[in-house]
Structure 1
Amino acid sequence: MTTFTFARTDNSVVGRWWWTVDRWAVIALTLLIIMGLVLTLAASPAVAERIGVDPFHFVRRQVAFLVPSIAAMFVISLMNVDQVRRLACFAFVLTLAALAATLVIGAEIKGSRRWIGVGSLSVQPSEFVKPAFIVVSGWLLAERQRHPGFPGGILSVLAYLAVVAILLMQPDFGQTLLVSMMWGTQLFVAGLPMVIVFALAGLATVGIVGGYLLLPHVASRIDRFLNPEAGDTYQVDRSMDAFMSGGLWGRGPGEGTVKRILPDAHTDFIFAVAGEEFGMIACLALVLLFAFIVLRLLARLLQETDSFVVYAGTGLVCQFGLQAFINMGVNLHLLPAKGMTLPFISYGGSSMLALAFGMGMLLALSRTRPGLGGYR
């Protein structure tokens, strides 16, 4: 019996990829995807039953989304730094146009226009514009350092304003806040003067206050978070019931009961399903897996000398980690309610494909290259 391995002297495309990619990050992402399939299998049948479709309707759709997502992540991770930059620039122009199109042709759902139809599918452009924007911004900031006369900082600001302006018009305050945090982290890593960093933090605070005062749904979510008696907290209450029901070790696969009445159990509140059926131990393992991926890739970026790779990679890691933190924080009632998927765990085609796009670029940027200490 033989095993399939790559020799270090293998010069094929896949062979070079295997010995230069961060294999521990790949393994961790694979485990995350497997856990996502298990949790989709646990959470989605109850949702399918409520809406009158086949019990495995969402499972089959998730697998259908997962196959092209994994393929895209692998193909993108084969790219070199220049190819990643060009791909991100093209994707940013395309996704920004699609994001703007939601204001005109987007379907209105719960008072927001965030989705556009592509054939029989619905696509959320904001999911794709996030990784594209952060890589383009990283390139602009890096060019600003390499060529002092290049207005990279100003162009980065203009790109940011274009993205958040459209997001606020949809409106999507949560995605606006996430993009702002990603971009702010990138600016901090890029070494902008602290005066500018604090000024931007002040503007962000003004933006949050403005969102509270001008957007009723934002005010309602914050009020309900600070004072549960201020409005309906059904989703968060059921989420907490799920964690309490699961205890330390969980009720067992398929044995959850709260998930049957938990809205969005297969998407925004899938972490609560993990708590009910697999217990706190499994939830901690999931948290540690996310933390490992974030810290592993950040440690890899610390060894990098290319400023573009550092800025773009840090922004992509920030997006991945913050999105997981926000989702889990909402499930545990540590943050105000916000519809945001748990990366590679929650059901959702746009989210899955966009995350694969972003992580593919991150794996490509973090690959070992000549001059970075050999193979890793």
Structure 2
Amino acid sequence: MIGLSTNHARTGRMFSRTDQSIVGQWWWTVDRVLLSIMLALAGIGIVMVVTGSPPVAERLGLDQYYFFKRHMVFLVPSLLAMIGLSMCSHRTIWRIASVILAGSILCMAFVLVAGAEVKGAQRWIHLPFGSIQPSEFAKPAFAVVIAWFMARQKDQPGFPGDRLAAGLYALLISLLILQPDFGMSMLVTAIIVGQVFLAGLPLRLVVGLGGVAALGGVGAYFGLHHVRSRIDRFLNPETGDTYQIDLARQAFQEGGAFGAGPGQGTVKLAIPDAHTDFVFSVAGEEMGLVLLLIIIGLFAWVILRGLNRVMDSDNMFVILGTGGLLTMFGCQSLVHMGSNLALIPTKGMTLPFLSYGGSSLVAVGIGMGFLLALTRRQGRSTIAKGGMAPKTQMNAS
């Protein structure tokens, strides 16, 4: 009993508002609602992978729970990265992001020379424990690094932040096109367009980036066969094979309002990528429309909550970094859901936290760790000047 009392006392001191330890300060400044939503999505993801992946594993001649076991192996470091990064200061966040981005770019260049080719694309590096897709890690790091470049130029007009951000974007896009990865290219473009808009930079830059995206889309349509095929099938289903999307729509229809129940779906048995690119349709069949709307609501809550946390902030780095990360999270989610519902051309993109993943799951954890760190209630700092200058506290929400 004495031991239990001592433990309770220690726990109380750790989470008291006057506690100056790293964990204590983190607990009272991090957005615990936002963290709880992310953990809830991760929990739903566990359910979806354990029910959606066995048919895929059996078709490949693997153990029934092969993908589920691997999902759990990657989920643990993903959540640890998310919580660990959320404890970091703003300066530490952009330093870590810079290292991750530099490493990702080097690995993306290496992939073009010696990477593994899968379905006509070179995006992966094969290692003894699995494959790594470097571009997944580049996304959140890119959002943070260019936010710092733009913010520093705002604070120090002589600093060429905008030009550095544009050059970094051009380099990253070039590597993605060479892989090729059209979907990731559009996602990275959406990130920088959103940040340019938030930064209040000249409208011509926003229009210019929009023009680049449009030209890229046209070029991808005429230059990449698989992109043209997907768009043609979307506009005119009779021009090609629509097997997967037909099954996805059937899964939603079979699910109805309340679903067949976890593990009870039958359409999912035939969907080739039920545990990754079409996990949303599996959720529709087994959970039904009601719970599907709840899942959509959780994704929307993350975005609205994150924006609300920085609404009154005067720290440009925090505003741009948060905006870029939320753009990444929201666009990736919308592309996955829209593809599953046949609202946009089919694009193989995972649903954050819900899809089975290795690189993608860990990268989501890193990105959301950055987001939690940037949205913490703390003294505002001027990153460009290198100081953590206490100012007015961020409003609690």
TM-score tier (shorter): over 0.9
Q: Deviations over 1:147-196 (max 9, x none)?
A: 11111111100000000000000000110011101111111111111122
Q: Deviations over 1:135-155 (max 9, x none)?
A: 110011111111111111111
Aligned residue identity for 2:349? M
Match of 1:316 in 2: 325
CA distance in 2, matches of 1:44, 1:334: 24
Aligned pair 1:372/2:372, yes or no? no
Count of residue correspondences = 376
Q: 1:359 aligns with which of 368, 376, 389?
A: 368
Q: Aligned partners of 1:355, 1:210: CA distance in 2, in Å? A: 29
TM score, norm. by length of structure 2: 0.92
Amino acid at match of 1:65: F
Match of 2:74 in 1: 65
Cα RMSD between the aligned structures? 1.3
SS in 1 for 2:347: coil
Residue 208 (1) aligns with residue 217 (2): yes
Equivalent residues of 1:44, 1:59 under 8 A apart: yes
Rounded Cα–Cα distance in structure 1 between residues aligned with 2:87 and 2:279: 31
Bigger mean CA deviation after superposition, 142-151 or 16-25? 142-151
State whether residues 316 and 358 of structure 1, in contact with CA within 8 Å, keep that contact through their aligned partners in structure 2.
Answer: yes
| Separation of aligned partners in 2, 1:115 and 1:71 | 24
CA-to-partner distance for each residue in 1:79-125, whole Å, 9 max, x for gaps?
A: 00000011111111111101111101110111100000233321000
The answer to whether 1:195 aligns with 2:204 is yes
1:184-333 to 2 correspondence within 5 Å? Answer: 184-333=193-342
- Residue 37 (structure 1) aligned with residue 46 (structure 2): yes
Could you say what secondary structure the match of 1:302 adopts?
coil
State how far apart, in whole Å, the 1-side matches of 2:94 and 2:191 are. 18
Residue by residue, what CA displacement relative to the aligned partner does 1:222-248 show, whole Å, maximum 9, x if unpaired?
000111011011110000010001111
Contact 2:353 2:364 in 1 (8 A): yes
Q: 2:160 corresponds to which residue?
A: 151
The whole-number CA distance in structure 2 between the counterparts of 1:361 and 1:24 is 16
Q: Percent identity?
A: 48
Check the 8 A contact 1:45/1:55 in 2, yes or no. yes
Structure 2 distance, partners of 1:253, 1:202, is 45
Question: Given the alignment, which residue of 325, 329, 335 partners 2:344?
Answer: 335
Q: Which amino acid aligns with 2:247?
A: R
Structure 2, unaligned stretches of length 5 or more? 380-391
2:309 and 2:395 in contact (8 A); partners too: no
Comparing 142-151 and 5-14, the one that deviates more:
5-14
The 2-side partners of 1:162 and 1:290 are apart by 30
Shift of 1:374: 6.3
Paired residues of 1:301 and 1:314 also in contact (CA < 8 A): no
Which runs of 5 or more residues in structure 1 are unaligned?
Answer: none
Which stretches of structure 1, 4 residues or more, deviate above 3 A after TM superposition? 1-5, 373-376
Q: Aligned partners of 1:197 and 1:247: how far apart in 2? A: 42
Equivalent residue for 1:46, pick from 55, 63, 70? 55
Task: Output the CA distance in 2 between the equivalents of 1:81 and 1:196.
Answer: 27
Contact 1:19 1:375 in 2 (8 A): no
For 2:396 and 2:332, the matched residues in 1 are separated by 30
Question: 2:309 touches 2:396 (CA, 8 Å); kept in 1?
Answer: no
Distance 2:117 2:394 in 1: 52
- TM-score of the superposition, structure 1-length normalised? 0.97
